[in-house]
Amino acid sequence: MRKRKEWKRWLITTILVGILWGCAGVQVREPADRFPGDRKWVEKTIRKMSLEEKIGQLVVTRYTGEFFNYDSPYLKNLEELVKKYHLGGLILFGGEALETAYFTNHFQKLARVPLLIASDLERGTGNQVTGATLFPPLMALGAADSEELAYEMGRVTAIEGRALGIHMTYAPVVDVNINPDNPIINTRSVGEDPEQVARITRAFIKGCQSRGMMATAKHFPGHGDTDQDSHSLLPVIRADEERLGRVELYPFRAAIEAGVESIMTAHLYLPALEPEEGLPATLSPRILTGLLRQQLGFKGLIVTDALEMRGITGYFGDEEAALRALQAGADLLLLPPDPVRVIERLTRAVRSGELPLSRVEESLRRVLLAKTRLGLHRHRYVSLERLPLILGRQEFRDLARKAFASAITLVKNDNNLLPLRENKRVILLSLSSDPGDYFAGRRLAAEISDRLPGTTVFYADGDTGKEKLEEAFSAASGADLVVAALFSSLRSGKGTVDLEPVHIDFIKRLKGAGLPVVALSFGSPYFLRHFPEIDGYVCLYRNTPETQELAARALCGEIQVSGHLPVSLPGLFPRGHGLILQKIKEEK
């Protein structure tokens, strides 16, 4: 009994001391480094480096996983950048599986310090590499509201990516898409609710990093509230600090708490955070060091968005932008237009005292420690023979299909037009707002025609003449139902994800003539704002052969539809709205 009292007295005393220390501002010992690594190898490697090598490790350029002869000028240029200028990493932009793995190994053999290979795998490794698994965009996961699917997507992305020699993905997008006219985030975001964005992206991060791939939360401090594309100019976000903290920064805080290893900057100007007129977040010490490092406590890698984008190059010189990004607190400089000139300029800046060597070595240590956590200091190569055993496994494809199907959202179904009845005369209009993609809906047309043999199909794009549209209108006049498949992809530099005005007018005209119209969105969910009077509206969030096939199955009642809008359609439907369409027959 006496021992129990003494133990209680000791416990109470300990708690009181802890409280008093906290009130006095005494710093307690921090927990172990959240991002450990082989520090001995790092310090040994740094001691052997010249200044040029140290700076080269902070610069990253692009490569393509295609076949190249060793005499190729393109290949020789990359080899020189790796061998002579000691680049820290490469970014994969598309390619074939075997070529990607082969040349990844090839570049690793040339590098004295192992390369950090990255890629934009927002929709899985299949987003860049043929043969790997392609997942839907994050907004589809928002529509499914499934943390499990997000975790599995991250896990599969990491398994396939690491098999190819990719160590880091520039995903997930944690931007909160609260601007319906956003031309570059849109379906890349989970949605408009910061809490849901945080939940889904945190699950992706954990799944990805559980299998040894670095995840990257982007675009800090938040790219969701703009109607401009930073690939083309410098957007301005005028929200105050309270709103930024409550909305934009919320998912970044969650990502940091989840242990995300990297954060990508945004080429945005935020007057509430940066008083220097027109200074992008990427170049702002207040935002990168003051806010991200000091206030939010992020200890991982800060990587810039591409320094070749007009959001930077339109306002700053290439070399100045790279220098200011490093001074601001960035660790990796992605895609400067001329890597050699940037390395030379940064070298001169250190030698002149303009850029402290300590700032360079601070970032260098983070980069090298990340490479050791990936195990690259011990083994940097991948097996080409194992690729057919890993990429595109049936279990991976089944997960992706489940994600695509779970996302399908029935927003409107007036008069219960869906599911389609076999005795209905259907006109299918494939309306593409993407240049050069006239037959965007050909897979959908084949799938619907297979189920409803009497279906009439018309294709149109932005260049389709008035005469062809009149022909389609005349045919539609005799139909029981018009199905309008809407295609407008999200592409950097395009400036919009919206529909061609002529297609908007055409749909309004069809409905004005009293025809029942159901529209399928294979992109932005916001299209309904243009013609709210139509009878039915289904969101699929992305145009792929699989979503076209699933659309046909959903329309014909072969699968259940149960997704919910992850964004609100202003003046029409709130976030979370979604009708259930039950399965009524077996798949064809």
Query: What strand order describes the sheet that includes 536-539?
Result: 409-413, 536-539, 517-521, 481-487, 426-432, 456-460
- For the residues 425-443, what does the mean pLDDT come to? 94
Spell out the long-range contacts of 124-128 with Cβ–Cβ below 8 A and sequence spacing 24 or more.
124/153, 124/156, 124/157, 124/160, 124/400, 125/156, 125/157, 125/160, 125/161, 125/164, 125/166, 125/391, 126/160, 126/392, 126/400, 128/65, 128/92, 128/93, 128/94, 128/95
Each residue's pLDDT tens digit, 341-366: 999 999 999 999 999 999 999 999 99
Q: Tens digit of pLDDT for each residue in 502-531? A: 999 999 999 999 999 999 999 999 999 999
**pLDDT, tens digit (0-9, with 9 covering 90-100), for 545-582:** 999 999 999 999 999 999 999 999 999 999 999 999 99
Of 305, 437, 461, 535, which is the active-site residue?
305
Where residue 587 falls among pLDDT bands split at 50, 70, 90?
Answer: low
Separation in Å, CA 412 to CA 95, 155, 482, 584 = 40, 34, 15, 18
Q: What is the sign, positive or negative, of the torsion defined by CA atoms of 383, 386, 388, 392?
A: negative
Distance of CA 307 to the CA centre of its chain: 17
Known catalytic residue at 223: no
List 167, 231, 267, 503, catalytic entry: 231
- Give tens-digit pLDDT for 87-100: 999 999 999 999 99
Q: Which residue has the tokens 């006109």?
A: 427
The amino acid occupying position 429 is L
Tokens of 469: 């549209």
Q: What is the mean predicted confidence (pLDDT) over 133-146?
A: 98
CA distances from residue 37 to 113, 163, 375 in whole angstroms, order as listed: 15, 22, 9
Task: Dump pLDDT digits (tens) for 50-97.
Answer: 999 999 999 999 999 999 999 999 999 999 999 999 999 999 999 999
**φ/ψ bin of 66: left (φ > 0), alpha (ψ from -120 to 50), beta (otherwise):** beta
Closest-CA residue to 336 (of 311, 364, 306): 306
Give CA–CA dist 426/441, Å, rounded.
15
Write a three-state SS string for 510-530. HHHCCCCEEEEECCCHHHHHH
Tokens of 538: 């289904």
Percentage above 70 pLDDT, the chain: 94
β-pair type (59-65, 89-96): parallel
At residue 201, the pLDDT reads 98
Average pLDDT over the chain, rounded to whole? 93
pLDDT (0 to 100) of residue 423: 80
Q: Give yes or no: 231 in active site.
A: yes
* pLDDT score for 302: 98
- Is the distance from CB of 507 to CB of 517 less than 8 angstroms? yes
Give per-residue pLDDT as tens, 491-500. Answer: 888 888 999 9
Mean pLDDT along residues 235-261? 97
CA pair distance 46, 386, nearest whole angstrom: 34
Domains and CATH numbers, the chain: 122-394 (3.20.20.300), 408-555 (3.40.50.1700)
Dig out the tokens for 211 from the structure. Answer: 């299998």
Of 80-89, 217-226, 248-257, 430-439, the one with minimum mean pLDDT is 430-439
pLDDT at 326: 98
Q: pLDDT category, 586, cuts 50, 70, 90?
A: confident
Residues of the chain with pLDDT > 90: what percent? 87
CA dist 415 → 412, 506, 515, 517 (Å): 10, 22, 13, 11
* 475-489 pLDDT per residue, tens: 998 899 999 999 999
pLDDT digits (tens, 9 = 90+) for 390-416: 999 999 999 999 999 999 999 999 999
Confidence of residue 253 (pLDDT cuts 50, 70, 90): very high
Give Cα 433 distance to the centre of its chain: 22
